[in-house]
Structure 1
């Protein structure tokens, strides 16, 4: 069932915000043209913009390219990201350009199976665990969705050339970027003003350089050739569906890229020159075991350095980072874009509350506290997978293969919960009541047609419980309630009820990004959980480290 656009939440009624307009001073306070200026209009920038305009906030996007990049880059997303697409109301459109990942199989040089990762297994979000897609098609869906909405100003074909954080507002100077000559025209510039500046501008981020924050290198650095192909008739070709060929002669990745296309990635060997390896004759020689020029056509070939970088300092004053501007990881988990969209989904609801005046600005400090450890863990998992794949020495590869065949295999990757930020914690500051876990999704039914839990919740905090709680108190806190059982809702697949039962819980409090603020075993603990929530959200200066 497709999702529906969800109206923005309004947490903590009684605290209101004022609308700003460019360059005015009202009551001694500078009034900005925009609430948020986003530099970079890739998937993370688009998803962040959508969240903010849904909340009634004015957004400017600045992007040097006049149109979305037409060639594929990211090709994978997981069930959590699919849930974001549902919450945005675009899941049906995205599904049309996607396909399930199937089985992700690692082979040795002789095509013997080392490990088979089943991406079709049922996820806690419902449906398969992983999906592949074609990024240009996704970018088009996201852009067309935004074009139907008010509150966003597009500055495409423009480059951010300077910015200044005044302490009260942000000033960003932009100039025309010539996509043909790759030059900036400084003859005519414009100044944008906003409350916040968010850099979603990729690995070479202007905003990150402006913030002058350190970048930690975790040490993975390999050069690979990435090739995208559109086969004429995929059914006639003997191409593995989703594979890592752990061949020491040349480690190779073969995966789907959406419904029709195929992605091949070849590790470059010492002495191979990247530009030369992108030449069509070199590419077709590498592709020869699977297809020839008569079997399809090349969409693109490009070389990349697969890196493992993590920025320290995602917020500096009124400036923040998201996506590749904040982190880079090897592609072997298919989590690069996913991590950026998690950033945007996390930051979006927090910026919305701050802009509403519902919470203190210090809430934004929880953004890096939550996302950075999670991203770092995924980077390390991706590196570990890459270190298994990228073994060019035949003897080392033989020892690796023997270990796999003997059953000495790395455990399946498990994404970590949130460990800090806006989660319930005990007196020692440790997460309590399963706080920080990614929570399940289900379809619910009562008297009418099924409805998605996320549609009932909106982008609000939501209490899922089998014990009725005073609605007036929840309304005061801006929390929605989903009561299970009896006169309440029935979860069709039993995921919510199972979670409560398996965690010995009577309720859990879910955040707008599907993670648990905390859980409670009985009515008394529900009261304590809500008190902790109110204390943290109203705590202003101690929003990050105290629970009432």
Structure 2
């Protein structure tokens, strides 16, 4: 358990750093990279001496791809993943319940879904980490004690016998627990959790085929009450099959190698055609912690939430945790925001995760139906919806707009004013020296998108305030404008995405905005329809950050 003791001095021999990240799986990696790229000294404590060599997650969505690119591995995306292509649900008779084609370029400027080989992703993230001199990774080290002293957090570490003494005791201004489902950090801070009591055992089989083969569809869910089962891409050269354990099947026999090959035979996969790289029985859970911050300790990824795989949002939710937390922690560390800003991490991410988790459970109830009569009713409804065009059998999005937290709201009740909370689309922009996706051309951080030069819309004091916060000014020019003579802060809206969006998203009757303030995690803080509204928008951001360090 943590203890608060602001007067306790650092122990002799304690190594100090800005942030300690506990756990170096994908979420811990992205968290550490985003913070280290902002210049902070980051120390990672990872209990396992080498990375886990087998895949766990097999895909990530477009927003996650954008976050991974921000973490510095965008150039590796084509090597470690491939567009997921199509996703189809069929019933036991082979009838299509629904079919969706995954966009090759989606809302976030990347494929809406990428199938990936997780060890390759982790290797790319680790290689990026080795390029950052202010990121230090202690592998084979385990946290055994944690104390929050109010102004810093001290952890005790057990490591290899030849580890230097100064790695036994570490101190940081903040600690982020990314140490998975069995998180030591979570247990140490004693947070409660909301558990939905949704459990299923599934046998996961990771397979490498001996010869290349095209799968049509590329991702398939068979909603068969006699055996719900799944076949999906697991990245270039890899595939995954999953089978639900039925109520009358002994768990120990269900997870055997012989049973794995027997079930793979349902898809025509045998030892002559493939290598079974890994098989294991997972018990899927549905829960999240109620508080993601206690003092100077925060949780992210599986340490904060566990969800069934049916919406593909487990690892993706962890990446959103990292993106949400990193920029807020950056402002707090720099003295540009009050630490109360970090309370919005809990409120924002908990709502997002609750939505994704409930959707995943809803999908799971449909997929895992084992009652033949109920399955027939399900099939009848879904087929009718698809064939008659009376609606859509496709599941709703697992991601929703932010509805609470650091968002521009009404003065009367504080409720967010649209488009505050929306995830901004990423498209191609250009200026004299660069053409590419917005993030690559403009860079990370807050962005103020305007329809006129920012100096014509804001006074000098507010422009200076935005500069101190690290807001990038972006004057949008219409598509078709020659980019040759365009210099910062102007960019050409090459794909005609941003200016039409501003024209549609202004608050109030009639719409139309002259400016859009976008947070570093790509969600809208707020929009302004004129100069006065923009001044109020900037003032509101200043007030919500709540730091006197920004004044003067």
TM-score, normalising length: structure 2:
0.88
Cα deviation for residue 494 of structure 1 reads 1.5
> Helix, strand or coil for the counterpart of 2:109?
coil
**2:419 — aligned with what?**
434
Does the 8 Å CA contact 1:99/1:259 hold for their aligned counterparts?
yes
Whether 1:145 aligns to 2:128 is yes
Deviation at 1:474, TM superposition (A): 2.5
* Equivalent position of 1:523 in the other structure: 531
Matches within 5 A, 1:399-414: 399-407=377-385, 412-414=395-397
Cα pair 1:32 1:169 within 8 Å, conserved: no
Partner of 2:151: 168
Relative to structure 1, the CA distance from residue 177 to residue 247 in structure 2 (aligned partners, 3 Å threshold; closer, same or farther) is farther
Q: Tell me what 2:401 maps to.
A: 417
Secondary structure at the residue paired with 2:272?
Answer: helix
**Residue 96 in structure 1 maps to residue 79 in structure 2:** yes
Structure 1 SS opposite 2:285: strand
Cα distance in structure 1, aligned partners of 2:337 and 2:76: 35
Of the three residues 253, 259, 265, the one matched with 1:282 is 259
- Equivalent pairs, count: 509
Q: After the TM superposition, which residues 296-375 of structure 1 pair with which residues of structure 2 at under 5 Å, given as runs?
A: 296-375=274-353
Deviates more, 1:33-42 or 1:517-526: 517-526
Residue equivalent to 2:137 = 154
Matches of 2:216 and 2:281, distance apart in 1? 22
Instruction: Report the Cα distance in structure 2 between the residues aligned to 1:190 and 1:445, rounded to whole angstroms.
Output: 50
Which sits farther off after the overlay, 435-444 or 495-504? Answer: 495-504
- Consecutive aligned runs of 4 or more in structure 1 exceeding 6 Å deviation: none
Higher relative contact order (CA 8 A, sep 6+): 1
Verify: 1:49 aligned to 2:32, yes or no: yes
Counterpart in the other structure of 1:234: 212
CA contact (8 A) 1:83 1:125 kept: yes
Per-residue deviation at 1:485? 1.8
Query: Mean alpha-carbon deviation: is it higher for 351-360 or for 452-461?
Result: 452-461
Deviation at 1:215, TM superposition (A): 1.0
CA–CA distance in structure 2, aligned partners of residues 82 and 309 of structure 1: 25
Offset from partner CA, 1:1-37 (integer Å, 9 cap, x none): xxxxxxxxxxxxxxxxxxxxx9489xxxx99701111
Alpha-carbon contact 1:196-1:319 (below 8 Å) kept: yes
Q: What does 1:193-212 align with in structure 2 at a 5 Å threshold?
A: 193-212=171-190
SS of corresponding position for 2:199: strand
* Deviates further, 254-263 or 484-493: 484-493
Cα deviation digits, residues 393-429 of structure 1 (max 9, x gap): 1111001001112217556323211111111011201
Paired position in structure 2 for 1:83:
66
Shift of 1:368: 0.7
The offset of 1:260, in angstroms, is 1.1
In 2 relative to 1, CA 188–365 (structure 1 residues): closer, same or farther, beyond 3 Å?
closer
Contact 1:38 1:200 in 2 (8 A): yes
Distance 1:293 1:381 in 2: 36
Please name the residue that 1:494 is paired with: 496
Equivalent residues of 2:449, 2:516 under 8 A apart: yes
The yes-or-no answer on 1:264 pairing with 2:241 is yes
Change (3 A) 1:463 1:393: same
List alignment gaps of at least 5 residues for structure 1. 1-21, 179-184, 544-548
Q: Measure, in 2, the Cα distance between the counterparts of 1:208 and 1:410.
A: 38
Q: Which moved more, 1:266-275 or 1:212-221?
A: 266-275
2:447 is the alignment partner of 1:447: no
**Contact 2:66 / 2:110 at 8 angstroms: preserved in 1?**
no
Cα-to-partner distance string for 1:129-181 (whole Å, 9 max, x where unaligned): 11110111100000011011111222211111111111121111111379xxx
Deviation at 1:451, TM superposition (A): 3.6
SS in 1 for 2:99: strand
Over 3 Å counting, the alpha-carbon distance change for 1:272 and 1:176 in structure 2 is farther
- Please tell me whether the aligned partners of residues 467 and 523 of structure 1 are also in contact (alpha carbons under 8 angstroms): no
Deviation track 1:96-130 (CA, whole Å, cap 9, x = no partner) reads 11111111100001111001122126422224311
55-64 vs 255-264, greater mean Cα deviation: 55-64
The answer for the alignment partner of 1:68 in structure 2 is 51
Aligned match for 1:397, one of 348, 351, 375: 375
Given that 1:52 and 1:59 are in contact with CA atoms closer than 8 Å, whether structure 2 keeps it comes out as: yes
Per mean C-alpha deviation after superposition, the further-off stretch among 483-492 and 99-108 is: 483-492
TM-score, structure 1 normalization: 0.88
SS in 2 for 1:65: coil
CA displacement at 1:189 relative to structure 2: 8.2
| Gap change, CA 1:189 and 1:359, over 3 Å in 2 | closer
- Residue 143 of structure 2 aligns to a residue in which SS? strand
Give yes or no for contact 1:161–1:175 (8 Å, CA) kept in 2.
yes
> SS of the residue aligned with 2:45?
strand
Stretches of structure 2 that go unaligned for 5 or more consecutive residues are 1-8, 386-390, 479-485, 506-511
Distance in 1 separating the partners of 2:371 and 2:238: 31
Kept after mapping to 2: 8 A contact 1:434/1:516: yes
Q: Is the 8 A contact 1:418 1:436 kept in 2?
A: yes
Deviation per CA, 1:439-491: give whole Å up to 9, x if none.
01122123344143213443321111112222743343222211112664222
After TM superposition, the structure 1 = structure 2 runs for residues 501-516 of structure 1, keeping only pairs within 5 Å, are: 501-503=503-505, 504-516=512-524
Per the alignment, residue 474 of structure 2 pairs with 482
The alpha-carbon deviation at position 302 of structure 1 amounts to 0.5
The aligned counterpart of 2:448 is 463
* Cα separation, 1, equivalents of 2:430 and 2:131: 31
CA deviation string 1:304-326 (max 9, x = no partner) = 11111111011001111000000
SS of the residue aligned with 1:423? Answer: coil
- 1:520 offset after TM fit, Å? 1.4
- Whether contact under 8 Å (1:65, 1:177) holds in the other structure is no
